[in-house]
Chains A and B, each alone.
Chain A
Amino acid sequence: MGAIYALVALGFVTVARASQIINFAQGEFVMLGGVITFSLLHHVGLSYPMAAVTSVFFVTLVGFLLYLLVIYPLRKASIPILLIATLGASLFISSSSGVAFGPLPKALPSFSGDQPFLISGMPVTPQSLWVLGATFGLLIFLYLLSHRTWLGKAMEASSTDPLGADLSGIWRNLMVFLAFGVSAGMGSIAGILITPIFYTSYSSGTLLGLKGFIAAVLGGWGKNSGAILGGFSLGIVESLSIAFITSGYKDAIAFVILLLILYFRPKGILGSPFIDSRRW
């Protein structure tokens, strides 16, 4: 679970690093990834890997479209308007996918069997290993992208100093466009990974998106490592909390943590490059 939060948080951070926009439709990408893979697998009849790759492609397309149709026309608008626009987009995506793919929860088969095996006495399902592996794979990919390539540096520059980026010839809109694509692709991978473990239905995206955002804030807003740390700690705290309180309160835990962290340490655990230097 923590790995999923971490993946969603990574998506948030990718967009925010390039544009300072918080894309509340991030959770919907996760949902779309799972749901599209399911329908490709069962209604179109593609093989599992093919279906997964195609759905990542489609969701990335959705991310590009989201930027072109919603964010780009509103790029000069104020924060509340952008916030409501992304929330409206998330409403549109989730409800139309409910219409298109049916309201029932979907479950994919696991990647490599359901037989759990023991690691030092603990039963572990292969799927959760897949999730962990994919998370770290994506983290390494993102690290290489943002610290080792010209593209990643340009993305970061267009967020930290828009004017400076313009002056040095960076096409800022293209950078944000690409960031949206990357975050959508990542969201869809997360969606494909969790659908075998948790059922995905058209409405599950919003809460996942919110918790992913909380994870990003918890770890340190604007840092890839912070997103990973925040995601895992949020997942662990949530799972542990079931031992102490009734499960009905489980969803509230994340938000209580959010309020506490925002009040006592708004920078997050690892500290954030944004909040110190600039007032949001």
Chain B
Amino acid sequence: MVEENNTEFRKRDLLCTGALWLLSLILPDPHFPYRRELIKKRDLFYLGVLLLLPLIWSSSHFHHLMVLAGIYAILALGLSLFLGYAGQISLGHAAFFGIGAYTTAILTTRYGIPTFVAFWASAVMAAVFAYLIGKPILKLKGYFLALATLGFVEIFLVMVRETPALTGGVIGIFGVPWFSLAGFSFDTYFKQYYLVWGVLIGLILFSKNLVRSKIGRALMAVATSEDAASAVGINVVQMKTGIFVVGAAFAGFAGSLFACIMSTANPEAFGLGFSVLIVMMVILGGMGNLYGPIAGALFLTWLTDVLSRFQEYSLSIYGLIFILLLIFFPDGIGAHLNIRLIYLISYFGRKKRRGKKEI
């Protein structure tokens, strides 16, 4: 009996180890900010998958979806710095996204400025707006901060609709040129895939360094307790404003790419629902984790695409899935996933063995 158990165990052990190794490559690392190495095996694995994926799966629809997911991921990354690391709520990122998109659209179509310059200009523009808005707003907390940023989105939308001379009103601006750099134009979804994910990787490296620096630690201190942080000598207001501006600049980048790729900018895309979607991405992916928002963005983009088949039922199903995910994964899909999966695997192992023993 004992010997049989042993052989059985060895086989299952092998199986579990294989599964766990695969998991260790794919799953986000909950202890990420405290690890010393900057680039690890896992990151290289992700990078390889990203580079190869469009080559392997070469349907145009998939490329388009991945481009959108990349843009949302940039946006969610910027918000996760603010929401996850600094612990503040903002429902206003859709507005910065919109500011980025409109800056690019106006600069390229009205003034013929090259897209690369407009790309940077829209990030700067979003950052300037974020600074002006953030200065007064950020002394609020919790629900009130969320509501104030939401108000900013609403004001932005009304301004866009009511100044048709500048922004084209309800219809928006059409004919934004493709993103081009030094004569090379990104005109297919395939090329845009590499553009967007390239930008995303650059921004991830930036935020990784930011989070591991003195500023990142100060931010986490602010998220834990503002009083304690200011007692240690951290300038809380400056910290919060700074990270708000950085997040807005990310949103500006994302908006600029969005305008180039969709070749339009119209107010319908930047409403309240979109703000909620971004926050949802960050929360689902897991706060306080840089890979989380990207996973959340991929998941929600895919979900939106799948649900769009159900026509008018799609929004209801969407809301339902939101709530269910929040109830069962309040820390994000990725947060305890590895622990849960390990538990599941070991549970099935134990169950089998227990059955044997009873016989």
A and B: interacting chains = yes
| Chain A residues near B (Cβ < 8 Å) | 22, 69-70, 73-74, 77, 79-81, 83-85, 87-93, 95-96, 98-99, 206, 210, 213-214, 217, 246, 248-249, 251-252, 254-256, 258-259, 262-263, 266, 279-280
Known: A80-B83, A259-B152, A280-B143. A98 touches B323 (CB 8 A): no
Tell me the nearest residue of chain B to A66, going by C-beta: B323
| Residues A91 and B155 in contact, CB atoms below 8 Å apart | no
Known: A248-B158, A259-B151. A88 touches B326 (CB 8 A): yes
Q: How far is the CA of A83 from the CA of B150 in the complex (A)?
A: 12
| Residues A74 and B143 in contact, CB atoms below 8 Å apart | no
| Residues B283 and A22 in contact, CB atoms below 8 Å apart | no
Residues of B contacting A87 in the complex (Cβ-Cβ under 8 angstroms): 276
| Residues A252 and B155 in contact, CB atoms below 8 Å apart | yes
Tell me the nearest residue of chain B to A255, going by C-beta: B151
| Residues A263 and B136 in contact, CB atoms below 8 Å apart | yes
For the complex of A and B, the 10 pairs showing the least CB-CB separation, nearest first, are A92-B319, A95-B315, A255-B151, A88-B322, A252-B158, A91-B319, A96-B316, A280-B142, A248-B162, A73-B327
| Residues A80 and B279 in contact, CB atoms below 8 Å apart | yes
Is B148 an interface residue when CB atoms closer than 8 A count as contact?
A: yes
Q: How far is the CA of A8 from the CA of B319 in the complex (A)?
A: 22
Q: How far is the CA of A280 from the CA of B88 in the complex (A)?
A: 12
Q: How far is the CA of A81 from the CA of B148 in the complex (A)?
A: 17
Known: A83-B89, A248-B162, A249-B162. A255 touches B141 (CB 8 A): no
Q: Out of B83, B136, B326, which one reaches A85, CB within 8 Å?
A: B326
Size of interface on B: residues with Cβ below 8 Å to A:
40
Considering residues A90, A99, A255, which has the most beta carbons from chain B within 10 angstroms of its beta carbon?
A255
Q: Out of B142, B152, B159, B162, which one reaches A246, CB within 8 Å?
A: B162
| Residues B323 and A85 in contact, CB atoms below 8 Å apart | yes
Tell me the nearest residue of chain A to B315, going by C-beta: A95
Is B29 an interface residue when CB atoms closer than 8 A count as contact?
A: no
Is B243 an interface residue when CB atoms closer than 8 A count as contact?
A: no
Shortest CB distance A154–B (Å): 24
Tell me the nearest residue of chain A to B272, going by C-beta: A206
24 A–B contact pairs at CB < 8 A? A73-B327, A77-B326, A81-B326, A83-B279, A84-B283, A84-B322, A85-B322, A85-B327, A88-B323, A91-B273, A95-B315, A98-B315, A214-B147, A217-B147, A249-B162, A251-B158, A252-B155, A255-B150, A256-B155, A259-B152, A262-B144, A266-B140, A266-B144, A280-B142
Known: A81-B283, A83-B89, A249-B162. A255 touches B154 (CB 8 A): yes
Tell me the nearest residue of chain B to A262, going by C-beta: B148
Q: How far is the CA of A214 from the CA of B313 in the complex (A)?
A: 31
Residues of A contacting B204 in the complex (Cβ-Cβ under 8 angstroms): none
Shortest CB distance A258–B (Å): 5
Residues of A contacting B32 in the complex (Cβ-Cβ under 8 angstroms): none
Q: How far is the CA of A259 from the CA of B149 in the complex (A)?
A: 9
Which of B49-88 touch A at CB < 8 Å? 83
Q: How far is the CA of A70 from the CA of B323 in the complex (A)?
A: 7
Is B195 an interface residue when CB atoms closer than 8 A count as contact?
A: no
Tell me the nearest residue of chain A to B151, going by C-beta: A255
Is B299 an interface residue when CB atoms closer than 8 A count as contact?
A: no
| Residues A252 and B154 in contact, CB atoms below 8 Å apart | yes
Q: How far is the CA of A209 from the CA of B144 in the complex (A)?
A: 15
| Residues A89 and B327 in contact, CB atoms below 8 Å apart | no
Known: A84-B279, A84-B280. A92 touches B312 (CB 8 A): no
Which of B246-300 touch A at CB < 8 Å? 272-273, 276, 279-280, 283, 287
| Residues B144 and A217 in contact, CB atoms below 8 Å apart | yes
| Residues A80 and B323 in contact, CB atoms below 8 Å apart | no
Q: How far is the CA of A108 from the CA of B29 in the complex (A)?
A: 56
Q: How far is the CA of A280 from the CA of B159 in the complex (A)?
A: 30
